[in-house]
A and B are shown apart, each in its own frame.
Chain A
Amino acid sequence: MFRILTQRVLGQSLLQQGIRPGAVASASRCFASAAKDLTVREALNSALNEEMSADPRVLLMGEEVGEYQGAYKITKGLLDKYGPDRVLDTPITEAGFTGIAVGAAYHGLRPVVEFMTFNFAMQAIDHIINSAAKTYYMSTGQISVPIVFRGPNGAAAGVGAQHSQCYASWYASCPGLKVLAPYSSEDARGLLKAAIRDPDPVVFLENELLYGEAFPVSAEVLDSNFALPIGKAKIEREGKDVTITAFSKMVGFALKAAEILDKEGISAEVINLRSIRPLDRATINASVRKTNRLVTVEEGFPQHGVGAEICTSVVEESFGYLDAPVERIAGADVPMPYAANLERLALPQVEDIVRAAKRACYRSVPMAAAA
């Protein structure tokens, strides 16, 4: 906690220099000059902390968010700081407490609902879609629902079929919802703050395996006014031969694959989608028009997935620029098996991305391998 307070002091002085929020736009290609390392967990915790102190209408609701300090320790210390009226430990009633949070949002509160994993959110999905996502439309703008649903999404390690599904494509197909998927700590902080300040329902898909990963962050990320724009992707690594899109944990895999490809003379551009809905079609298409080849990577099931939507978007808008069919990397089309070796086979690995990128590159005119 102390670290976060000193950072805020630092951040305020930066603010006076006129660094406005959202200055870290999609144009920046690499990590900014590292001021310090921040884990994704700390990033989320600090974002929640700052938003709760800035706006008394923000409250936290979920299982084990209070006394247990969060099932994955994301909400550590918040109960002590804000008290049980704003950090609510709920019984195990997803449908019930999600509905209650949505009702509170109708009346102007800004709840942040934590699901222990998004698998459990299936018990509450009726409220996420029908009560939250569709309400602004059905009421013709009278009632807005400024709610955030957050929690871990996708596969963890050896947790079986009912704990491992990726819900990005399910939620992203619903009009009325905004769906965000952060990768680094910078993403986590900026996007969560933007989500809490947003007047619409936001589904915030985190990843359990990323919580402990540390990323270097610049001082402006630590500023309490830092927020990232919703609907803009980030080009994590620039390249000219093939575009690789990914989100959440797969961004890390894509970056590793890009390094391997680099050694083989293929310069890959890695796009961190950040926002699944609205999808940043402009950035993706601009990139494909530059590189002419596309590989989409995701962890979820292949049919009707995020990759399918990206492929269609590119075919619709940049068909003439494609030199090769779009390659789609996704999880295996089976419920997640438990056995460790089968689980590894069921999820995309770095080698799969490398192979797909190579396939995309050798389809038409063979490339001259640069030294």
Chain B
Amino acid sequence: MASAFSATAKFAQPLPLNTTSSARSQDKLSPPALFDPFRTSSSAATSPFLGSTRQLLCKSNRPLSHRRSSSSSAVVAISDVKQKKPKSSSNLLITKEEGLELYEDMVLGRSFEDMCAQMYYRGKMFGFVHLYNGQEAVSTGFIKLLTKDDSVVSTYRDHVHALSKGVPARAVMSELFGKTTGCCRGQGGSMHMFSKEHNVLGGFAFIGEGIPVATGAAFTSKYKREVLKEPNSDHVTLAFFGDGTCNNGQFFECLNMAALWKLPIVFVVENNLWAIGMSHLRATSDPQIYKKGPAFGMPGVHVDGMDVLKVREVAKEAIGRARRGEGPTLVECETYRFRGHSLADPDELRDPAEKAHYAARDPISQLKTYMFENKLVNESELKAIDKKIDELVEEAVEFADESPVPDRSQLLENVFADPKGFGIGPDGRYRCEDPKFTQGTAQV
């Protein structure tokens, strides 16, 4: 059983980044290595983990070529391309079209969230709003590899996940304004974005709550293929959640079951080091989250979440693994949120030096630099995209502004799928009396 995260891959050498002092992280833990539960890794990379200001070991792995992969065949680790800019690699990680797509998606996420902040302070949006600024690389890196059938489950920080998956910006903005044209007709709100068409399964307020739901979606994919005999059912589910969630019991329960039943799911940890005001290092006995994967029998991967190309490479492999039926993967993306936990968070506890360190590694700027240096695009093409997104977001706001608020009668709708709530079918008879109620062979 060939595991893609094999020991034959190259590991990037840890690069000595300038470290500014970090008040909290004093870990001298062993470095993140790519864990392969089936083979012991021979890597001996030595850089310590974690803390914004520590050396960030960029891990990735050239996937073994397999039937579906059509990406470049050069054996090169992501970090080499990004950090060392070698002339030896003849192939780039992305084509121009892919690059533009990634850029556009990240800029959409960023502009949208910035507009949300503006609208909140103008009183058009209310309640809890949690913005995703700074973490775009994770959403774009993963979700742009999915098909329409694949599902995404997220937390309350879900605007950008919905946008990346294809929910129109105007639908999301209307939802945030509480209008009836929103993706949930104003009934869900910022934290509860659902879209059946795009397979966005929410938007959950409680952290950890979405993980079992995502595991269930993955379960269905496997069930449809094996029990219901639908051979094309191979959709993959991505569960996005944060570092705080990784201390919650539901997370571990789902890691166990996903690995036990080999479900097509990828657990994506967006480790932005902070859970409201609680630093990850203060809350976790072992802060290296990716290590928790192998404990349950799945590979655990750590990747630099501020770099969309690295995330994308890891994502390709993890999603491929799931689709081939090899089981789940735990991917820890070390990233950062530029704003506070929510728009009501004064954000006083984070060190400004830490914020500055990550602001300098803005994923959008990094992608821009990469594309310029590899002569994939020129300035005007990116500016055109910026303008297009600005107009799109403005139009979304106008649309939301002009949309009507929900009708009074909408208050009592959608409580049950069964409209009268008494088990009565559309023909007026009780459903349980209907002889066609069961599709099986049991005699009722």
Would you give the shortest CB distance from B426 to chain A, in whole angstroms? 22
Q: Residue among B175, B187, B283 with the most chain A CB within 10 A?
A: B187
CA distance A340 to B190 in the complex (A): 13
Contact yes or no, A337 B205, CB < 8 A: no
CA distance A161 to B179 in the complex (A): 16
Contact yes or no, A342 B187, CB < 8 A: yes
Contact yes or no, B277 A92, CB < 8 A: no
In the bound complex, residues from chain B placing their C-beta under 8 Å from that of A95 are 249
Would you give the shortest CB distance from B330 to chain A, in whole angstroms? 18
Known: A159-B127, A339-B178, A342-B410. A119 touches B205 (CB 8 A): yes
CA distance A120 to B208 in the complex (A): 11
In the assembled complex, B412 has its CB within 8 A of some CB on chain A: yes
In the complex, the chain A residue whose C-beta lies closest to that of B408 is A345
In the bound complex, residues from chain B placing their C-beta under 8 Å from that of A64 are 276-278
In the assembled complex, B192 has its CB within 8 A of some CB on chain A: yes
- Near A by CB (< 8 A), chain B positions 274-318 give 275-278, 282-284
Contact yes or no, B205 A92, CB < 8 A: no
Contact yes or no, B283 A92, CB < 8 A: yes
Contact yes or no, B278 A89, CB < 8 A: yes
- Near B by CB (< 8 A), chain A positions 145-180 give 156-163
In the complex, the chain B residue whose C-beta lies closest to that of A160 is B189
CA distance A188 to B412 in the complex (A): 35
In the assembled complex, B444 has its CB within 8 A of some CB on chain A: no
Would you give the shortest CB distance from A331 to chain B, in whole angstroms? 11
Contact yes or no, A338 B128, CB < 8 A: no
Would you give the shortest CB distance from B400 to chain A, in whole angstroms? 12
In the assembled complex, B364 has its CB within 8 A of some CB on chain A: no
In the assembled complex, B3 has its CB within 8 A of some CB on chain A: no
Q: Mark B407-430, 1 if CB is under 8 A from A, else 0.
A: 010111001000000000000000
In the assembled complex, B168 has its CB within 8 A of some CB on chain A: no
CA distance A64 to B276 in the complex (A): 8
CA distance A93 to B284 in the complex (A): 11
In the bound complex, residues from chain B placing their C-beta under 8 Å from that of A68 are 276-278, 349
Q: How many residues in A have their beta carbons less than 8 Å from beta carbons of B?
A: 35
Would you give the shortest CB distance from A341 to chain B, in whole angstroms? 5
In the complex, the chain A residue whose C-beta lies closest to that of B186 is A339
Q: Which of A96, A332, A338 has a CB less than 8 Å from the CB of B187? A: A338
Would you give the shortest CB distance from B304 to chain A, in whole angstroms? 24
In the bound complex, residues from chain B placing their C-beta under 8 Å from that of A157 are 126-127
The contact size tier of chain B is 35 or more
In the assembled complex, B365 has its CB within 8 A of some CB on chain A: no
In the assembled complex, B216 has its CB within 8 A of some CB on chain A: no
CA distance A91 to B191 in the complex (A): 21
In the bound complex, residues from chain A placing their C-beta under 8 Å from that of B190 are 160, 338
Q: Mark A77-98, 1 if CB is under 8 A from B, else 0.
A: 0000000000001111101100
In the complex, the chain A residue whose C-beta lies closest to that of B405 is A341
CA distance A180 to B349 in the complex (A): 33
In the assembled complex, B31 has its CB within 8 A of some CB on chain A: no
In the complex, the chain B residue whose C-beta lies closest to that of A337 is B187
Known: A64-B277, A67-B277. A342 touches B248 (CB 8 A): no
Contact yes or no, B278 A158, CB < 8 A: no
CA distance A91 to B207 in the complex (A): 12
In the bound complex, residues from chain B placing their C-beta under 8 Å from that of A345 are 408, 411
Contact yes or no, B189 A92, CB < 8 A: no
CA distance A158 to B184 in the complex (A): 15
Contact yes or no, B192 A91, CB < 8 A: no
Known: A96-B249, A339-B405. A161 touches B127 (CB 8 A): no
Contact yes or no, A67 B126, CB < 8 A: no
CA distance A332 to B411 in the complex (A): 9
In the bound complex, residues from chain A placing their C-beta under 8 Å from that of B188 are 160-161, 338
Known: A89-B282, A91-B283, A339-B405. A162 touches B415 (CB 8 A): no
In the assembled complex, A334 has its CB within 8 A of some CB on chain B: yes
CA distance A92 to B284 in the complex (A): 10
In the bound complex, residues from chain A placing their C-beta under 8 Å from that of B205 are 119, 160, 162-163
In the bound complex, residues from chain B placing their C-beta under 8 Å from that of A338 are 127, 175, 178, 184, 186-190, 192
In the bound complex, residues from chain A placing their C-beta under 8 Å from that of B244 are 91-92
In the assembled complex, B245 has its CB within 8 A of some CB on chain A: yes
In the assembled complex, B437 has its CB within 8 A of some CB on chain A: no
In the assembled complex, A262 has its CB within 8 A of some CB on chain B: no
Known: A332-B412, A334-B412. A340 touches B126 (CB 8 A): yes
Q: Which of B178, B410, B412 has a CB less than 8 Å from the CB of A340? A: B178
CA distance A339 to B249 in the complex (A): 32
Q: Which of A71, A93, A333 has a CB less than 8 Å from the CB of B247? A: A93
In the bound complex, residues from chain B placing their C-beta under 8 Å from that of A162 are 191-192, 204-206
Q: Mark B172-194, 1 if CB is under 8 A from A, else 0.
A: 00010011100010111111100
Q: Mark B91-128, 1 if CB is under 8 A from A, else 0.
A: 00000000000000000000000000000000000111
Q: Which of A123, A156, A333, A337 has a CB less than 8 Å from the CB of B186? A: A337
In the assembled complex, A335 has its CB within 8 A of some CB on chain B: yes
CA distance A334 to B406 in the complex (A): 15
Known: A333-B415, A341-B405. A91 touches B204 (CB 8 A): no
In the bound complex, residues from chain B placing their C-beta under 8 Å from that of A330 are none
- Near A by CB (< 8 A), chain B positions 242-257 give 244-245, 247-249
Q: Which of A89, A93, A163, A341 has a CB less than 8 Å from the CB of B248? A: A93
In the bound complex, residues from chain B placing their C-beta under 8 Å from that of A90 are 283
In the bound complex, residues from chain B placing their C-beta under 8 Å from that of A67 are 277-278, 349
In the complex, the chain A residue whose C-beta lies closest to that of B285 is A91
CA distance A89 to B280 in the complex (A): 12
**8 A-B pairs with C-beta separation under 8 A:** A68-B276, A123-B206, A160-B128, A160-B188, A162-B204, A162-B206, A333-B415, A342-B178
Question: What are the 5 closest A-B residue pairs judged by CB atoms, nearest first?
Answer: A338-B189, A158-B127, A68-B277, A339-B186, A339-B178
